[in-house]
Structure 1
Amino acid sequence: MISPIFVGHGSPMMAIQDTACTQFLLDYGKKLSPKAIVVFTAHWETEVLTISSTNDVYDTIYDFRGFPDELFQIKYPAKGDVELAQMIADRFKAKGIPVNLDSQRGLDHGSWVPLLRMFPTPECPVIQVSVNPYLPPAEQYRIGEALRGLDQEDILIIGSGATVHNLRALNWDAKEPEAWAVDFDAWLIQNMQTQNLEALFDYAALAPNARMAVPRPEHFIPLFITMGSGDPERPVQVIHRSYEVGSLSYLSVSF
């Protein structure tokens, strides 16, 4: 059994820098031997939920600019799995969730950067899934619920995003995390660990500094998807918490 996890993927520089978060990802990955990995990535937005469906090696997508050339030389040669993609699609359809399959798209950095740090050599199939940031939190949770039980089959579900992701608020001179970002994450942690879904689904109105932390929800909603995919009887665990440039959160949670 492998618990679903949400990971803060931060900057693409995670692929080449050694930080507290990258060390966590490496150590955590060493504990796991998944049969397959399903990644909901903040960097693939579609109106209809879309699942990568190929048996080939994915292209590595460099969906960023202004970073060192070294980053653009990295390849993460993970393969897909058409049969598994179809099984996941069938689970969504059974819950009345519209879904498409995509046989062409490669892995964006929301997928390959954390996977590279967790599993430097890909050894199992990877299925990438898009997000629709405009669906309400309760619907994001329901998307995750459709995959509940895959952890019992040693399929690792990863939500890749960030709880606090406001690029306009980054403080490059910060030596300590910004209090407003810490307070927002603390509120999330408390309500996740007490399973207060009503409050979590209304985070925009109830959480301190919600508008600062989540100016746009594409990086945040993978948290709800991953939460929904976990066993509600299992305690929610904070598996890593650190910050960069003041407010960029690397909070990671298992469900």
Structure 2
Amino acid sequence: MLPSLFICHGGPSIVFEKNEYTAFLKEYSSKIKPKAIVVFTAHWENEITTISSINGVYDMIYDFYGFPKELYALKYLAKGSPEIALKVKSLLENKGIESCLDEKRGLDHGTWDILYLMYPEAEIPVIQISVNPFMPMEEQYKIGEALKPLAKEDILIIGSGSTVHNLSTLADVKEPIRWAVEFDDWLVEKIENKNLEELFSYQNLAPHAKLAVPREEHIVPLFIALGSGQKKEPKLLHRSYNFGTLTYLAFEF
């Protein structure tokens, strides 16, 4: 039975970086070969949970600007799976969660940059799912919970986002900035102890929460992945930083 994962996807240029985080993603994924991968991406927002149902190869979405031109030529030729998309929709509906299918949207960098590092052959079907940053965290958790049965079918659920996500605070420094570390320290401690009540109220309880998360679309995938987890004890797999406040954090649930 597969765990679920929360993975910080960083900037799109991470696909060309060689550091301890990219090395971790490559090494960890070599141990897990899922039948399919479901990705909740922070870069696709919709009021209703929307499930990609591509029949064939995804188009690429380059949802960023100002990066090296070779990044806009990168291809990750993953295929979709309408069959698994319908299975996801059915599981959500069984729990009273409204959802719909999308047969056109391509892969955004919240999905393809981590999968390019983890499964570069693009041989595993991918089902991309939207997030709604305006829903309470309890409801995000329930979305993940509804999809727990997928693990029994060797379908990997990944929440792709970030914990600290305030691009205005990035700095050209080698060491992580203290407030970002303190925010992540609080999250990690609450997650490892499965203190859901406090996690759901993190914006009011966590230190520097408003600074770390000015908008919630990037942290939502964390709560979805937490909800879909199979492990009694969540495991912090990796933690590092870039540009002072850019968190590279990965959890196994």
State whether TM-score is above 0.5: yes
Distance 1:87 1:7 in 2: 23
Distance 1:250 1:151 in 2: 25
Aligned twin of 2:20: 20
Aligned twin of 1:128: 128
Shift of residue 149 of structure 1?
2.6
Letter in 1 for 2:88: I
Name whichever of 146-155 and 61-70 sits farther off.
146-155
Distance 1:63 1:141 in 2: 27
TM, length-normalised to structure 2: 0.98
Matched, 1:169 2:169: yes
Matched, 1:234 2:238: no
> Deviation per CA, 1:61-96, whole angstroms, max 9, x where unpaired?
111110001101110000000010001001111111
Preserved contact between residue 8 and residue 163 of structure 1 (Cα < 8 Å): yes
Preserved contact between residue 149 and residue 230 of structure 1 (Cα < 8 Å): no
Correspondences of 1:61-76 after superposition (within 5 Å):
61-76=61-76
Aligned twin of 2:223: 224
Letter in 2 for 1:244: N
Shift of residue 153 of structure 1?
1.7
How large is the RMSD of aligned CA atoms in angstroms? 0.8
Aligned twin of 2:195: 196
Pick the aligned partner of 1:251 from 244, 249, 252.
249
- Aligned residues with identical type, % of pairs: 55
Distance 2:31 2:112 in 1: 19
Name whichever of 15-24 and 82-91 sits farther off.
15-24
What secondary structure sits across from 1:72 in the alignment?
helix
TM, length-normalised to structure 1: 0.98
The ranges of structure 1 where at least 4 consecutive aligned residues each deviate by more than 3 angstroms after the TM superposition are none
Shift of residue 164 of structure 1?
0.5
Which structure 2 residue ranges, 5 or more long, are not aligned?
none
Distance 2:10 2:181 in 1: 16
Correspondences of 1:139-150 after superposition (within 5 Å):
139-150=139-150
Name whichever of 16-25 and 36-45 sits farther off.
16-25
> Deviation per CA, 1:168-208, whole angstroms, max 9, x where unpaired?
11112x12001111111111111111110000000001001
Which structure 1 residue ranges, 5 or more long, are not aligned?
none
